[in-house]
Amino acid sequence: MNSLTKESRVTQLIDHLFRHETGKMVAVLTRIFGPENMGLAEDVVQDSLVEAISHWTYQGVPDNPSAWLFRVAKNKALNIVNREKYKRQYSSDVVHHLKSEWTAEPALDYFFSEQEILDDQLRMIFTCCHPAISADSQVALALKTLCGFSIPEIAKAFLTTEENINKRLVRARQKIREDKIPFEVPQGKELEKRSEAVLETIYLLFNEGYSASKGNDLIRYELCEEAIRLAEIIEKHPAIPNKSIIYGLLALMQLNASRFSSRQDKEGNLLTMAEQNRSQWNRSLIAKGLSNLEKASFGNPVSIYNILAAISACHCLAPDFESTDWKSILSLYDNLIQADHSPVVLLNRAIAVSKVYGTEKAMEELEKISKIPAFKSYYLFYATKAEFYITLNQFEKAIPVLETAIGLAPLQAEKQLLQKKLESCRKK
């Protein structure tokens, strides 16, 4: 194996571990150092990853990379405790274990145990979603610390700038320090209320994986798997009384994830829903999603996740694209906009209108929402508008709109699909 190949393999492995293990390590280290020292926890994890890249490139990848990474992070934490135990104020519930070298190491072994790491992830996400922190900063902080999101990825999820996300993260960490926000899972009504922000975070994580903001991978499976895993952790928490919203979110993610393997062809080209081979859809995930959707139906009130899951179910249950129950889908979108008047929902509703009432009516709906600021930089708005023009055989109008969409599309696979449509329009 040549050096370049070896480095590439290590880089891919580090990226995989970054997605799967960063949140776990940051969570347990935040418990050790205290939420006011969350930045220190992130620094230790980052240093551990850098050390892994250097060591593995020259010495080879260990048999258990995750265990190696956790051991390095634990040792770095122990060094910090020994070196700065009189300089820093650590988390009050563990500080007495860290005062002596005799107790610090076994204590860290305990904190890095599988069950404690699981519990610390719950503590971390509820700490990030504390009501003292503004709602937008809550989600950004959780995505950064628990899920290993980069600043550009979070900015894309929020349809905002990287500078804004940086400011939100700074404000959130400052609020944690100033208000001495505890590293704990809340109880009673407070738990139910704060669960909503937690689920929003998980949903954004899934969406980032389902439609990536960078790179050439249209779908980043690992992020979506991580989102489903986090939702399952929340669902298993015995203290949450009303789990219908969680079931709705799980159903939505599982039903959407079931179509992963058919969204791209072997060359990586994006396939539309009409072009997808439905025999490739994951029937096991569809069954799980439908089961969770049924569980969600017993809750009150009905959440936006339940409605979105029901829309996804309509697609999953249709034997072919022509059989899709668009009337039900449009009805579900009509219900959804009562709770979620977001640009993306309005755009998707316009697509459903085109299937039920025709493209001209859908164009009217598109015109009504065209002044929404977020659409200026949202490539799918222009892609949808171009598709409507193409359906109406107005190819001259479609061309400049497609060119705008291509310029805004973040991924190569999306640009290629739009480019094919553009070339087809120019030939008409």
The identity of residue 156, as a single letter, is K
pLDDT digits (tens, 9 = 90+) for 381-404: 999 999 999 999 999 999 999 999
Strand-pairing partners, residue 270, are 264
The predicted model gives 325-352 an average pLDDT of: 94
The identity of residue 405, as a single letter, is A
Res. 91 pLDDT band, cuts 50 70 90: low
- Tokens representing 129 are 């979603």
Question: Measuring CA to CA, which residue among 29, 242, 30 is closest to residue 127?
Answer: 30
17 pLDDT higher than 80: no
The identity of residue 240, as a single letter, is I
Domains of the chain by residue range: 1-112, 325-371, 378-428
- Given a contact cutoff of 8 angstroms between Cβ atoms, the answer to whether 293 and 251 are in contact is yes
52 pLDDT higher than 60: yes
The predicted model gives 62-78 an average pLDDT of: 89
pLDDT digits (tens, 9 = 90+) for 341-352: 889 899 999 999
- Tokens representing 388 are 């409507």
pLDDT digits (tens, 9 = 90+) for 115-146: 888 889 889 988 988 888 987 788 788 888 88
The predicted model gives 407-427 an average pLDDT of: 90
- Given a contact cutoff of 8 angstroms between Cβ atoms, the answer to whether 108 and 116 are in contact is no
Question: Measuring CA to CA, which residue among 272, 235, 268 is closest to residue 251?
Answer: 235
Q: Please give the share of the chain, as a percent, with pLDDT higher than 90.
A: 44
48 or 102, which is more confident: 48
Mean pLDDT of the chain: 86
Looking at residue 215, what is its pLDDT? 53
Q: Please give the share of the chain, as a percent, with pLDDT higher than 70.
A: 90
Looking at residue 33, what is its pLDDT? 87
CA 386 from chain centre, in angstroms, equals: 28
Looking at residue 54, what is its pLDDT? 85
109 pLDDT higher than 80: yes
3-state per-residue secondary structure call for 338-378: HHCCCHHHHHHHHHHHHHHHCHHHHHHHHHHHCCCHHHHHC
92 pLDDT higher than 70: no
- Report the SS3 class of residue 180: coil
- Given a contact cutoff of 8 angstroms between Cβ atoms, the answer to whether 141 and 172 are in contact is yes
Residue 236's alpha-carbon distances to 72, 140, 231, 303, in angstroms, are 30, 24, 9, 19
- Given a contact cutoff of 8 angstroms between Cβ atoms, the answer to whether 357 and 366 are in contact is no
The predicted model gives 234-257 an average pLDDT of: 89
pLDDT digits (tens, 9 = 90+) for 26-41: 999 999 888 988 989 9
Looking at residue 282, what is its pLDDT? 95
The structure's pTM equals: 0.77
168 pLDDT higher than 90: yes
Q: Which residues contact 221 (CB under 8 A, 6 or more apart)?
A: 209, 260
87 pLDDT higher than 60: no
d(CA 344, CA 369): 10
Q: Which residues contact 197 (CB under 8 A, 6 or more apart)?
A: 129, 135, 138, 139
1 pLDDT higher than 50: no
Question: Measuring CA to CA, which residue among 185, 170, 225 is closest to residue 202?
Answer: 225
d(CA 236, CA 358): 45
213 pLDDT higher than 60: no
d(CA 49, CA 70): 10
- Tokens representing 216 are 């050439």
User: Poorest-confidence range of 148-162, 234-248, 255-269, 355-369?
Assistant: 148-162
User: Poorest-confidence range of 133-137, 172-176, 332-336?
Assistant: 133-137
Listing DSSP states for 44-89 in one string gives HHHHHHHHHHHHHHHH---SSHHHHHHHHHHHHHHHHHHHHTTTS-
255 or 195, which is more confident: 255
- Report the SS3 class of residue 159: coil
The identity of residue 18, as a single letter, is F
- Tokens representing 4 are 């370049």
pLDDT digits (tens, 9 = 90+) for 284-311: 999 999 999 999 988 777 889 999 999 9
User: Poorest-confidence range of 5-19, 176-190, 264-278, 387-401?
Assistant: 5-19
Looking at residue 89, what is its pLDDT? 60
The predicted model gives 106-117 an average pLDDT of: 85
Residue 404's alpha-carbon distances to 211, 218, 360, 371, 373, in angstroms, are 19, 20, 21, 16, 15
